[in-house]
Structure 1
Amino acid sequence: MNELQASTEQHEPLASGLGCSETILPSLPNSDSTHAACEKKQRLFDEIDQLTTRLDKYLRAAEEQYFEMAPLEALLEGDEELDANRLREVRSEYNTLKLPHNSNKHHAWTLDTQITRREQLLNHKTLMAGYTESMANWKADEQELNEKRDSLSTRLEQIQQQAVEDLAKARQAETDAATAYAQSVAWGDTEGEKNANTDAQKAAKNLAAAIEHNRRQHLIINALEQELVIVDQHIAEAQKEHLALQRTALLLAEKVMEEQWNKIAHVLMDMGAKLWAAQRLLGGDQLSLRRLVLPKEGEGFDTWGSRELADRSYKFTVEDILSL
């Protein structure tokens, strides 16, 4: 209930702050677009005012009922033990209040949804511009993060490869020095033995330095891998936000197109009714249009069909039909 009240407080500034400068829906060809847009806006404003009045009524009723329910709810959920008769009495009184309370909350939720729909229709251009701009920003962030990820991945591969090569090179140098020393001893080459021993000591020092360097390289590798994890998290967040905004924008577009469909369907129904009237005046019977079913989009699950066409056809005179 509190969420609905907060939502109601947000409805009023949006509706009252809009003027007739923003077109609600694209007008059909050969129509007075400015006049039609202003009429559409005014109708939506009036509907919002009416719906808000009804919403406030339901919210007040639900609040009053909850005020009566709260002490009973505390008794039912509290630690105090109640005898069977008292417990039955409390439950009965609580349920008697809970049923209309839930009904009022449901009505309030339905009205709040209807108000939100009309506010979005009034302000759909501004809202859509904001959604598309935000989507573009998140897409740009994702692209920048992907470039950063590629750079990090390339650098990580280079360091990993360098670490393996440096250590392998140092170990091979120590192995070569040991082999040279052994060969000098085997062939009695005293000078070669001395040089090989010096090379072996040098290789051992280089290997120790290479092992220490390799340890530092692995620290860098671990840090880069962690940074890649963080970048991947940011990429996933950017994708999630972009998809969420895209869904919100699509829902708004759906509402606007539903209104556009209904508007065009009304024009189509009038044309069908005029055709129906012409055929009736000619003494014929309408066969094909009897199968017509046009769904009404948006709120409700209504359809327009042959009954509506027949009823509408009687509003057209011969003069109306002849003014092609």
Structure 2
Amino acid sequence: MNTIQELKDRRDTLTLEMESIQRDLMPLEEALESPEIIQQGRQRAVQDEINDHKRRIDSRDHEIYLLNQKIDRLEALANRESLAAGYLSGIANWKADEMELNEKRSSIETRLQQVRQSDQEDMAKARQAETDAATAYAQAVAWGDVEGEKAANAEAQKAAKNLTAAAEHHRRQQLIITALEQELVTIDLHITEAQKERAKIENKAAHLANTVLEEQWNEAAKALLETGGKLWAARRLISQDPVSLLKLQIPEQGENFGSWTFRELAERSHQHSLLDLLAA
């Protein structure tokens, strides 16, 4: 297996080659439209050269893409413990942030409800007091109660002042309510951001887990193939056809898309002697 550095060196080499071919391609593309090439009837030949350059570029670009996948995979496997620890720490931090934000949101929402309720009650009381004073005044006038009329008039004036004060208080409370509502919007944005960031890390962690488990699958499959090769060899020594093993097909995980079949067992079986089989 190639080391990570060997793969990176190969990628660097391909990148330099691709850049060189791209530089060579530019004058060819310019020459294709030149009068001289057209007069000489060499457009087809130049176009063929251009196509050849593009094929070589595409070939190297594709190989670089595959190398990047392999490098990323090997680096993830090599650093899986530190990566996993970092992901777990990141997830925990964002969860803690989200929890703290939710606590703040709950506190602000409770306070907002209290302010709204108190404001509504204060305004309702002030309006009701003014209405009651007006009713008392009207009743005093109707019954010719001079003293009652004076008292009701005083209460009406007092209620009017209280309503004015309540209206001013209501205005200030509305400013507070608006500010609290805006704070809720801001906190909700932060909560959404925390959830998105946590989801990103969880996605990376899931990809790491997938890569590690794929590698474990491949290692387990290779161990099974090793045992299967010995079993195949033993069957051959006793002149017994390994019919049941002919159905073997184990898909390889990762960047490769092949499968291990009974042919792997047959090839491996030739590596084992009777002593190997007895020592198994």
Q: Normalising by the residue count of structure 2, what TM-score does the alignment of the two structures yield?
A: 0.90
Measure, in 2, the Cα distance between the counterparts of 1:212 and 1:251.
Answer: 59
The match for 1:256 is 212
Letter in 1 for 2:214: E
Secondary structure at the aligned position of 1:304 is classed as: strand
Q: Does 2:124 correspond to 1:177?
A: no
Secondary structure at the aligned position of 2:242 is classed as: coil
Tell me if the contact between 2:69 and 2:255 (Cα under 8 Å) persists in the aligned partners. Answer: no
Deviations 1:283-304 (Å, cap 9, x if unpaired)?
2111222111111111211111
Secondary structure at the aligned position of 1:50 is classed as: helix
Letter in 1 for 2:100: E
Structure 1 residues 39-118: aligned runs within 5 Å = 46-70=2-26, 85=38, 89=43, 92=47, 95-118=51-74
Distance 1:211 1:247, change over 3 A: same
Quote how far apart the aligned CAs of 1:69 are: 4.0
The match for 1:226 is 182
Unpaired segments of 5 or more residues in structure 1?
1-42
Measure, in 1, the Cα distance between the counterparts of 2:153 and 2:29.
Answer: 92
Q: Normalising by the residue count of structure 1, what TM-score does the alignment of the two structures yield?
A: 0.78
Deviations 1:253-289 (Å, cap 9, x if unpaired)?
1111111111111111111222222222122111222
Letter in 2 for 1:298: G
In structure 2, which of residues 222, 230, 241 is the aligned counterpart of residue 266 of structure 1? 222
Deviations 1:130-160 (Å, cap 9, x if unpaired)?
1110111001100111111111110111111
Deviations 1:196-218 (Å, cap 9, x if unpaired)?
00000110111111111111111
In structure 2, which of residues 169, 174, 192 is the aligned counterpart of residue 213 of structure 1? 169
Q: Structure 1 stretch 66-75 or stretch 258-267: which is displaced more?
A: 66-75
In structure 1, which of residues 111, 132, 137 is the aligned counterpart of residue 88 of structure 2? 132
Measure, in 2, the Cα distance between the counterparts of 1:129 and 1:72.
Answer: 52
Secondary structure at the aligned position of 2:250 is classed as: strand
Distance 1:69 1:164, change over 3 A: farther
The match for 1:305 is 261
Q: Does 2:120 correspond to 1:164?
A: yes
Measure, in 1, the Cα distance between the counterparts of 2:87 and 2:219.
Answer: 25
Q: Does 2:255 correspond to 1:323?
A: no
The match for 2:239 is 283
Tell me if the contact between 2:134 and 2:156 (Cα under 8 Å) persists in the aligned partners. Answer: yes
Q: Does 2:127 correspond to 1:152?
A: no
Deviations 1:71-119 (Å, cap 9, x if unpaired)?
677899xxxx987949x95993655533322332222222122112211
The match for 1:294 is 250
If you compute each CA radius of gyration, which structure gives the higher value, 1 or 2?
Answer: 2
Deviations 1:201-260 (Å, cap 9, x if unpaired)?
110111111111111111111111111011001101111111110110111111111111
Q: Does 2:183 correspond to 1:191?
A: no
Tell me if the contact between 2:119 and 2:173 (Cα under 8 Å) persists in the aligned partners. Answer: yes
Unpaired segments of 5 or more residues in structure 2?
none
Q: Sequence identity of aligned pairs in percent?
A: 52
Letter in 1 for 2:115: I
Quote how far apart the aligned CAs of 1:51 are: 1.4
Question: How many matched pairs?
Answer: 275
Secondary structure at the aligned position of 1:134 is classed as: helix
In structure 2, which of residues 191, 206, 222 is the aligned counterpart of residue 235 of structure 1? 191
